[in-house]
Amino acid sequence: MLNPGSGEIGPVPRRGRLMEPIERALLETRCFSDIGADIDLSTLPEEEKEELGVELAKLEDEISTLRQVLIAKEKHLVEIKQKLGITPLNEIKHNLSKSWHDMQTSMIYKKTQETLNNTGQKATAALNNVSSTLSKKLGEMK
């Protein structure tokens, strides 16, 4: 968030936590460090270098503005969620519940469940058969 008067940007919300300015700087470095690695700037005419410099400055300014807008929107989102009583724990519970429901309604889950049920029934029948056979044998031995 842009701190009024200082021109500095503070922490940025990022998936449940704040991204510190140093993290953002590292992210930006990773994103832009390899761009242009193969370009030899000495071969570019001076006026093209200037045009590219102006375009670069404009893009950096736009990116900065977009970040500030995004930060403001994320802050507003957090405020609305707080007013609605939506906590991170509630969101996790909801996501887990939805994922569990989605898994249970998937075809692969249904087929696996059916196979396990059939296997369980066959195993139960086999164990009952072994149990009755053993009971008969023990009864004969007495």
Residue 32 has pLDDT above 70, yes or no: no
Please provide residue 136's backbone torsions phi and psi, each rounded to the nearest 5 degrees.
Answer: -65, -45
Q: What is the pLDDT of residue 28?
A: 57
Range 34-55 average pLDDT: 79
Range 46-50 average pLDDT: 90
What is the percent of the chain with per-residue pLDDT over 90, rounded to a whole number? 58
Q: Are 18 and 11 in contact (CB under 8 A)?
A: yes
- Label residue 74 by pLDDT band (50, 70, 90): very high
The more confidently predicted of residues 2 and 25 is 25
Q: What is the pLDDT of residue 44?
A: 83
Residue 34 has pLDDT above 70, yes or no: no
Separation of alpha carbons 79 and 67, rounded Å: 18
- For residue 132, CA distances in Å to 1, 71, 122, 139 come to 75, 72, 15, 10
Residue 22 has pLDDT above 50, yes or no: yes
Q: What is the pLDDT of residue 27?
A: 57
- Label residue 19 by pLDDT band (50, 70, 90): low
